[in-house]
Amino acid sequence: MFDIGAFELILVGVIALLVVGPERLPKLARTAGLWLGHARRSLTTVKQEIDREIKAEELKEILRKQAESNPLNAILEEDGEIRSRSNQSSSGSGARSAAAVRDANDNATNADQP
C-alpha cells in the first residue's frame, strides 16, 4: 500500500531509537501499533458500510426494473378493469331484473282485481 521496504523500516527504527531513546521505544512502538490497528479497523468498517449501501442501491434498482418489466402486473391491472366493468354491468342488470319482478307482481295484483 505504501510501498515501504526493509531498508526504510530499519531507517525509521534507528531514527526513532535516537529521538525517543531505548527506554521509551517499546512503549512508543506499542502505542503506534495500537493506533495503526484502530485505524485499520475503522477503515475496514467504513469500507463494509459503503459496500452494503452500494449493494442495497443495486438491489433496489434491480427490483424497480423487474417490477416495471413484469408482464404479470399488466395482466392483473387488465383483469381488475374487466372485473370492475363486470360488476358495474351486473349491478345494472340486477336492478333491471328487480324492476321486472316488481312489474310482474304489479301486473299480477292488478289482474286479480276486477
Asked if residue 99 belongs to a domain, the reply is: no
The tens digit of pLDDT for each residue in 20-51 reads 999 999 999 999 999 999 999 999 999 999 99
* HSE, side-chain direction, 13 A CA sphere, residue 62: 6
Asked if residue 3 belongs to a domain, the reply is: no
pLDDT at position 67: 78
**Tally of domains within the chain:** 1
d(Cα 95, Cα 99) in Å, to the nearest integer? 6
Task: Give the cell for residue 29.
Answer: 512502538
Three-state SS for 50? Answer: helix
Asked if residue 111 belongs to a domain, the reply is: no
Asked if residue 16 belongs to a domain, the reply is: yes
Asked if residue 51 belongs to a domain, the reply is: yes
The tens digit of pLDDT for each residue in 3-16 reads 788 899 899 889 99
pLDDT at position 65: 86
Predicted structure pTM score = 0.47
Residue with cell 512502538: 29
Asked if residue 24 belongs to a domain, the reply is: yes
Cα 55 off chain centre by: 9
Asked if residue 64 belongs to a domain, the reply is: yes
